[in-house]
Amino acid sequence: MAEAVLRDRIERAGLADKITVDSAGTGDWHIGHNADERALNTLSVNDYSLVSHRSRQIDSTWMSELDLIVVMDSSNYTNVEYMIDNSDHSPELVMFRAFDPELSHLPMPHPDLDVPDPYYGAGDGFTTVLHMIERASDGLISQLPQRLNAAR
């Protein structure tokens, strides 16, 4: 869901030629699967598109290709931090909800920055998560011009 929202926001901001969005999990339990139908339905109802998505797993070999890694929860943060520590590269690691202006004061990793996994919850959990993702995406997009200028 975050991939779809970020792609949308980046395109609207006119930054699609400068930024690549990709997504992967830290675990291997869904490798090769399509996105959850409930997630796809929630995205569709809210005018987002996630075309031909297949689950993959990130590992330390990805670090040389990445500038910024945005993770969804504290467990992902710890897993990716370990991958970074065991690579020769140091992409920036940030919890996604740290870009939500109302939560940006929290240190990482902080449990209040976790995006809950709606997979096992009630149907409205996907909508709740979408709203969290939208707020965080807007916060990240507002920082991108400054981040891009600093990277030059």
8 A C-beta contact, residue 108 and residue 98: yes
CA–CA separation, 20 vs 131, rounded Å? 22
pTM: 0.91
The model's pLDDT over 59-90, given as tens digits with 9 standing for 90+, comes to 999 999 999 999 999 999 999 999 999 999 99
| 106-129 confidence digits (pLDDT tens) | 999 999 999 999 988 776 899 999
Q: How many structural domains does the chain have?
A: 1
CATH code at 123?
A: 3.40.50.2300
Range of the domain at 53: 2-151
